[in-house]
Structure 1
């Protein structure tokens, strides 16, 4: 029987050491890992060995690599599954300019109770709302309301009447260096309000899916909220997962 490859043992040693440091808090959420050169020197291994260990950490959801900057510890580790779609992530990454998006409003208004609660704002607070409707060749398919604390939109293009050419997550990082580390997603079925029915061109009281996703930083602070309303007869929820 062939002996185990030495390179394999080395990358496992690096992988296990970094994984342990993340687990015990030596490398806390948001911290940048040592550079590849420093890891090469510390573990006395080749650069490809370090690169493979980092690749596996990314695959496990423990770190995130940013081009030109390095690798950072993630605040939350997602649960992996065989096949999984995250509708909320699509909303955070959606560029309005790449879809048939019609901007309905962009401004400061008094936020509903659900919005202030999820964004952890005082009751009755004002927040910034960017609202648009997405359509396809058959008509409206989604009403999206993106809410932000007022101080967060300063210096961004969120107030612009023009379609955004990049998703919320990328834009916030590019303009404010605010990184959304994880999302909390909620989905419920209900009846459309009169205003929603008018925008989505469905009968009043028609069934809709309501997807609410909050984006959080590594400290758990909610930086934004996206509330999407989808006609129930034009969408389905699908997931695949192992049975244990």
Structure 2
């Protein structure tokens, strides 16, 4: 049955009321909501209006509907506070070196390693620009970061500067080159530290590390930068919180 014209905005009242009841604990997690028939009678609206309000509550993650049983309030997903973003690669693209106690180790043109060339879709043996720095805290180094770029992106930027960048890579490239990264591909590997990595991170060669590889992809689907971060395994954990349907 199509909604009546006068009911077109009435779902908002139903939605707001049910949402408030859920968040105020009137309907605790696990509680079954009143039936559609009961809601139609309570709010004096049509059934399609109630269905629309319930659909939006499901979209917000506040309820789930079980066929033949009804709609139930979902438990609250706990907040991760300052670590709310479950994608650690986003931080690597957005954090400013100047804000992360970074010490620049290298900024220059080198032959891209095979893995870097493959992820940037460059021919084997191609030169690329790398900006490598180590981040530490009061207890010592916590990550070694290598940011790789095709050479055509370097001119007109501060990527070659010996000073820590005062803005994130993604923002800097957009401001200087109008390069917009449409999405990222994030890969996480667990392996042993190389001798060079171990020296910088002050761990034993072969010690467990997490290797985070984040490719920034432009709107045309081309990888335009690669961030390669190496994190000592005993100083980091990857954590996520998500609802279970």
Q: Structure 2 length normalisation: TM-score?
A: 0.67
- Residue 91 of structure 1 is matched in structure 2 by 92
- What SS does structure 2 have at the residue aligned with 1:164? coil
- Residue 213 of structure 2 is matched in structure 1 by 212
The offset of 1:190, in angstroms, is 0.2
- Residue 134 of structure 1 is matched in structure 2 by 135
Unmatched 5+ stretches in structure 2: 1-5, 13-59, 61-76, 78-83
Unmatched 5+ stretches in structure 1: 9-59, 61-81
Larger Rg: 2
- Residue 145 of structure 2 is matched in structure 1 by 144
The offset of 1:169, in angstroms, is 0.4
- Residue 37 of structure 1 is matched in structure 2 by none
The offset of 1:5, in angstroms, is 2.7
RCO (CA 8 Å, sep 6+): is it higher in 1 or 2? 1
- Residue 204 of structure 2 is matched in structure 1 by 203
The offset of 1:3, in angstroms, is 4.1
The offset of 1:221, in angstroms, is 0.5
Question: What is the total number of aligned residue pairs between the two structures?
Answer: 174
Distance in 1 (CA, whole Å) between partners of 2:8 and 2:225 is 49
The offset of 1:204, in angstroms, is 1.2
The offset of 1:4, in angstroms, is 4.5
Distance in 2 (CA, whole Å) between partners of 1:190 and 1:3 is 60
Contact (CA 8 Å) 1:190, 1:209: kept in 2 or not? yes
Q: Tell me the alpha carbon deviations over residues 43-77 of structure 1, each in whole angstroms, 9 at most, x when there is no partner.
A: xxxxxxxxxxxxxxxxx9xxxxxxxxxxxxxxxxx
The offset of 1:242, in angstroms, is 2.7
- Structure 2 counterparts to residues 16-95 of structure 1, below 5 A: 84-95=85-96
- Residue 187 of structure 2 is matched in structure 1 by 186
The offset of 1:152, in angstroms, is 0.8
Contact (CA 8 Å) 1:192, 1:205: kept in 2 or not? yes
Contact (CA 8 Å) 1:132, 1:144: kept in 2 or not? yes
Contact (CA 8 Å) 1:84, 1:240: kept in 2 or not? no
- What SS does structure 2 have at the residue aligned with 1:239? coil
Distance in 1 (CA, whole Å) between partners of 2:100 and 2:213 is 20
- Residue 36 of structure 2 is matched in structure 1 by none
The offset of 1:240, in angstroms, is 1.8
